[in-house]
Structure 1
Amino acid sequence: MIEAIGVEKRNAVLKEKLLKWLPKQSRLETQIFGLALSRFDQETSAEKCFYHPIVALIVQGFKRSMIGNHDADYGERHSMVVGVDMPGIFHITHASQQNPFLSLSVRLDRRIISQLATEMPSIVTSDNKPANPVAISEASEELLEAFIRLVDLLDTPSRIPVFAPMILREIHFHLLSGSQGDCLRLFSTGGTQTSQIAQAITWLRENYTGRLHMEELARQVNMAPSTFNRHFKQVTSLSPLQFQKRLRLYEAERLMLLEGKDAGTAAVMVGYESGSQFNREYKRQFGAPPHRDVAQKRS
């Protein structure tokens, strides 16, 4: 068991463990569901991604992010919590082969958050105020220790089914009871407008290729269309239509870059009926038409 050795020493322990599992630049999806380890040996240009509810801890280096329209810049020994599915852009700074960027992330489970909120009413908020989907804070000793024990399990895979669920639940508890708890509680506690928006975002994430009918989506989460649109934008900084466009365009870029699809095929796969509309919106989002943008990124 790790002794009470302070935040800096616990972070040093994590650094040693991550370097062992990541001897070179890579991203490792581990045997523990939802746990990923990352190493970058050089600074990166802006990369697009789509965040699920997650906690990410930087062990070494610095990361600049734009999640929706929310700035999220954080560095060593700080964690970022994202409470709802959000499109984002990030780039790594302060990274070299001698001092690589090191981080780990854990997917968050709304069922665990709801269970803990039910079992511990004192951590449930009754406020129905607009919520920021992103929260950054310095990691506590308890949270760092839980991450250490979780990474330690990778050395004994046979113990993962028994101990990983307990440690993951503990991580959820530390986040809920700390300064980042408001972000998670508001998006995971039923009956709040922000939790209703979270439901709508999840639906959009799973159905982004279809035509968006605002009234139907608002009705699904029991909100008037005007109220729904206003609160959706408060949470995500985007309108529902803009959010859907980001989903489609990010996936189209991935299909072209990683799966070799041509622009026309990618456009149809993500739900566009008009190739010219796809080209216009792609250029507006990424600064160049699909063919040119993908060619530049491949080179």
Structure 2
Amino acid sequence: MMPVDAVITWVDGSDPAHQERLANHLAAAGISRPPEAHSTRFNDAGEIEYCIRSILRFAPWFRKIHIVSDAQTPAILDRLAGTPFADRFRVVDHRQIFRNFEQHLPTFNSRSIISMLWRIEDLAEQFVYFNDDMFLLRDVTPDDFFREGRVVQRGSWRMQSDATIPGRLMNALKRLRGKRKDRVGNLDSQQMSARIAGFPDRYYRLYHNPFPMRRSTLQTFFGEHPDLLEKNCSYRLRSNEQFKTEAVATHLEFLHDNAIVDNSLHVVQLKPSEQLPARVRSKMSKADFDESAAFVCVQSLELAAEPLQREIVEWLDRRIGSTES
């Protein structure tokens, strides 16, 4: 089996240096803080601790774990210093992956950053991208992400909105009303990504779980389309004009018959600031008895009411454990 790396993107928005860089960018651009730069997008409620702990417990087979950040190092790495885990980690600064594109730094945009992950030095050909709010809930194997040289994809095929009559009518209505500039749509971006990769009428809607990718796929694509890389990484805040690199990679693998659809494992999505506490508790309880619940995504944990935050943290501690357990 070829080696597989994990890549985690992370930012600590409470870091004064990060706050100063963002404030300086907004001031220089002459804009007030848009939704894409809201502090909650960068808040760190300790999620990366669970991401790292879950990888060490449930996927110890990862060769290296690359943590991509902006001149920051998560505290958990200090605690792991001197342990057998220490040499598994590498902190990768934005300046390294944006080499020759430094004019687009600092960036506060995950889509721009993900565009450049394939440029990490010494990155394995096969890697799995984690946002820092994505955790593992059970043992997984390399075959859950890469199988017989092909990439395992989780999602479902959908029609492009402009390829259906209802979709065209809805899009026309949006244009008449004026599309909200402060809304950066995930599905719109996935559809754009599919079209870029050569799928004009349909797209593979990806679920929000760890994304397997092949370095050579992106290296070849961006080598042939350097203008797309330049444009996508240039936005310092998230934009409707951007594609999702993980979605482009997915569709390229389908295009070249290098993808396998397997939805036997699924993600549990917790949105404690949006979902009722009873719904969050129900999701956690069901996940305890569901062997197919392999991933969990906890979005904006810091915005939840404190009692619910404590319940979620206690559940994660029980499910994932600590680095000492």
Scaled by the length of structure 2, what TM-score is found?
0.32
Higher helix share: 1
Structure number with higher relative contact order (C-alpha < 8 Å, ≥ 6 residues apart): 2
- TM-score, normalised to structure 1, is 0.34
